Amino acid sequence: MGIFTIILPEIFLFLSSTLLLMVGLFYRRINIINLLTFLLIIFTAVLVIYQPSSFGFNNSFVNDEFSKTIKVLILIGSASTLLMFSSSRRKLNIDIYEFPILISFASLGMMVMVSSNDLLAMFIGLELQSLSLYVLASLNRNSLQSSESGIKYFILGALSSGLLLFGVSYIYGFTGNTNFSLISATYDKDSLGLLIGIVFVCSGLAFKVSAVPFHMWTPDVYQGAPTPVTGFFALAPKVAAVALFLRFLYSSFGETAADWQQIIIFLSIASMIFAAFAAIAQSNIKRLMAYSSIGHIGYILIGMACFNFEGVQSLIIYLIIYLVMNVSVFSFILMMKRKDEYCENIDDLSGLYRHNPFYAILIALSMFSLAGIPPLAGFFGKFYIFMSAIKNDLYLLAVVGIVASVVSAFYYLRIVKIIYFDEPSEKFDEFNSSSLNLIFFISSGIVILFFVYPSPILNIGNYAAKTFF
């Protein structure tokens, strides 16, 4: 029994979703299947929380405070995606019962990624997650855009997996190990081949977190994929890939930090600046959110570049706040319907204030929070990140970050201006989907009221960061 308790949540998630797959074949009530998947994801999160810290399978699979925190975040992201799916599945032509099953398989892959302490486990988790995501992106078979986004994601994803594997083979060749702890114990600091390996693995992982210059797929995939899937892309896989990136660099190459810090600093600066300027010209809100997520990854990478306790802590806090803000925005995007048709253009929001002042103020506050304006949650996320950068003498990163967030405030505030001051366009349909309203209100509540009682989220950051230092 002993060894199975280490992967108990994963085994539970796998067996129950396989069971649901079979149930769904005969009992085609998609709502029920979706609800059951939702419940089992919540139950998996509970299992993760109550799991003792442990490691096993030749130290290739670890459960520590960090992995537990990230896993719970991922499962929350997946659960809110399922709520988004339940309200929009008919209209978006993704009315297939495999959707929740694929989401739970993707979550399984992400849980393996987060817990992996070995190059092999890392790659297998990554592939399990990506394969489910490729299918999810092209799920709407009648839409050309959806198929395009799936194919694009698949081809570029396969390319990045190739880069990653190439790097993995270099690391294995020059250290003789695949285990992160053994790699850190045995490597030769001056080895050039090892550095090449790190660069290639970093490129592969930078693709998965969509950091510039490996971001090309993001806008097209975000725009083309069905909206709940776009929401999922922005929520869970980003968090998982960041966690994997961090564990890979910290556990195996902690002592050569100076080498890979340069890579992370470059990725971070490029992402922040590129996203700030490229998003200005966008008119589609899903595309805008894609650029916004590239920018946020830039800020998250600042925390990773710090390589100390404060850095990891601020990174976790930022990830939590990023997740909450994205849930809020994407649940609102799914409510933007006019005559039962989904609207995706930013101009469709014009004059929302006249018709729905309450929703208008919540979405405006979410936008303020994304821009990082006090006293909303987004401000504190950026605040902690910049503080830890300054404490580590990474002044360049902090300065570029602040400049980029001022520039990016332009396009967030443009949405607020459109909502409040533009000529009102036609009224939206009633916002009557209870599941969307639920997650919209909870997430906007957290965004707005974070400053009143921030200690739970700060404590989570503290708890998770202990793992590495």
Partner 1 sequence: MTASLLSFYIFSTVILLSSLMVITSKNPVHSVLFLILTFFNGAGLFIILHAEFLAMILIIVYVGAVAVLFLFVVMMLDFKISLDKNNILQYLPIGFFVGVVFISELIIVLINTKFDLSNIQILVNPMIKFENLTNTEAIGSILYTDYILYFQLSGVILLVAMIGSIVLTLRTREGVKRQSIQSQLDRKYKSTITMVDPKSNEGVDI
124 is an interface residue for partner 1 by CB under 8 A: yes
Q: Which stretch binds partner 1 (CB under 8 A): 134-142, 323-331, 337-345, 447-455?
A: 134-142
Q: What is the x/- site pattern for partner 1, positions 103-122, by CB under 8 A?
A: --x--x---x-------xx-
Peptide bond into 213 cis (omega under 30): yes
196 is an interface residue for partner 1 by CB under 8 A: no
98 is an interface residue for partner 1 by CB under 8 A: yes
Q: Are 214 and 160 in contact (CB under 8 A)?
A: yes
Binding residues for partner 1, how many (CB under 8 A)?
28
7 is an interface residue for partner 1 by CB under 8 A: yes
Q: Are 362 and 428 in contact (CB under 8 A)?
A: no
Rounded Cα gap, residues 244 and 126, in angstroms: 9
Q: Are 68 and 467 in contact (CB under 8 A)?
A: no
Range 60-89, binding partner 1 (CB under 8 A): 60-61
Q: Are 23 and 96 in contact (CB under 8 A)?
A: no
By beta-carbon proximity to partner 1, the closer residue of 135 and 442 is 135
* Per-residue tokens: 457: 């989220």
By beta-carbon proximity to partner 1, the closer residue of 131 and 196 is 131
By beta-carbon proximity to partner 1, the closer residue of 78 and 138 is 138
Range 347-376, binding partner 1 (CB under 8 A): none
By beta-carbon proximity to partner 1, the closer residue of 41 and 400 is 41
224 is an interface residue for partner 1 by CB under 8 A: no
* Per-residue tokens: 135: 């299918």
Task: Give the orientation angle of helix 357-371 with respect to helix 434-449, to 10 degrees.
Answer: 50
Burial of 28 (0-12, 13-18, 19+ CB in 10 A): exposed
CA dihedral 41, 43, 47, 48 (to 10 degrees): 30
By beta-carbon proximity to partner 1, the closer residue of 128 and 297 is 128
By beta-carbon proximity to partner 1, the closer residue of 140 and 356 is 140
Q: Which helix (H) or strand (E) holds 62?
A: strand 61-63
Residue 420 CA to its chain's centroid (Å): 30
272 is an interface residue for partner 1 by CB under 8 A: no
90 is an interface residue for partner 1 by CB under 8 A: no
Q: Give the DSSP letter of residue 176.
A: S
180 is an interface residue for partner 1 by CB under 8 A: no
Binding site for partner 1 (CB under 8 A): 7, 14, 18, 21, 57-58, 60-61, 96, 98, 101-102, 105, 108, 112, 120-121, 124-125, 127-128, 131-132, 134-135, 138-139, 141
